[in-house]
Structure 1
Amino acid sequence: MEIKVTVKQLGKKYPVLSEQKLDILYNDPQISLKNLLKLIVQQQVEAFNAQSFEMEDKDYLKNPSENYLNILTDTGKAGFGSIYNEKKADLQKAQDNAVLAFEDGMFAVFYNDEQLENLSGMIDLSLHHTFTFIRLTFLAGSYW
């Protein structure tokens, strides 16, 4: 089944990633949020593990072009497309981490502007609304 996903970060005017379509291995129109998170993580882990780990794919120059540098500074993350850790991602660990991160309030999930707060709550995928994932950032500071 194909779903639409947007990832945003609070405090940013534009999404970090634009709307993407993901194919998940699920055909029933009703799904729990926990199961949906696991299926999205499964799709992302499979895509990551399918990437090439050839030594010639690495960027030894680490020198971005001028127009690419602006994109890197806007997103706050410098990545040059190279994979430095050649280990494959562990699907079970990744799924457990995603569920735990949701329970700990590290990110929020919205479906058609409605926040999903319960992992066991059912979602109607037949409506074909966009899922929005918002990464939450904790503020650090003191009264001193």
Structure 2
Amino acid sequence: MLTITGKGIGQRRRLFEDFSVPPPEEVGDGGPLTLRALITHVVTQEVAAFERRREARKLDRVLSPRQIEEGLERGKVSPEGRDGLPRAFKEKPVDVESAIATALEAFEDGMYLVIIDEIEYRELDAIVKLAEDSRITFLRLTFLAGA
């Protein structure tokens, strides 16, 4: 599995929790893989995972005593049942093609860099080298005032 990490320059905390995606099929058959294809693969996998999480949250859940206690400590006990879904989880499905286009445009606009196993990639059509356990870091760039 590929490990996906998100970082911001000058920030100690990660942008999101690390997650894993299976390698693209191109890696398994030994064919070349471009950064564009890799970003497309990661976005497609994450949109699918988001949709699965959204569907799972629609189900009523029974909370354990420990989960209730943790919720009380946070100030909100919520089983995330049908009536308690946030509005974003009730809306229409994510358009995967639009999400891919947004991710590729953000890369072209210099909003983030991609680092794979400590090698930085700056071109969408660059051939990337992946191992089955590669770490892919999306590094969000911050623009300086007046730049």
Q: TM-score, normalised by structure 2?
A: 0.69
Matches within 5 A, 1:32-111: 32-50=34-52, 51-52=54-55, 54=58, 82-85=85-88, 86-111=91-116
Q: Is the 8 A contact 1:8 1:132 kept in 2?
A: yes
**C-alpha RMSD of the superposition:** 3.0
Query: Which of 105, 113, 122 is the matching residue for 1:117?
Result: 122
Q: Which structure has the highest strand share of the two?
A: 1
Provide the C-alpha distance between the structure 2 equivalents of 1:7 and 1:65, rounded to a whole number of angstroms. Answer: 30
In structure 2, stretches of 5+ residues that fail to align are: 62-70, 76-83
Q: TM-score, normalised by structure 1?
A: 0.70
Bigger Rg over Cα:
2
Q: 1:97 to 1:65 in 2, by over 3 A?
A: farther
Q: Which runs of 4+ in 1 moved over 6 A?
A: none
Q: Is the 8 A contact 1:24 1:43 kept in 2?
A: no
In structure 1, stretches of 5+ residues that fail to align are: 58-63, 69-80
Deviation at 1:66, TM superposition (A): 5.8
Q: Which structure has the highest helix share of the two?
A: 2
The superposition leaves residues 59-118 of structure 1 with CA deviations (integer Å, 9 ceiling, x where unpaired) of xxxxx86669xxxxxxxxxxxx95422111001111111111100011111112221001
Matched letter for residue 102 of structure 1: F
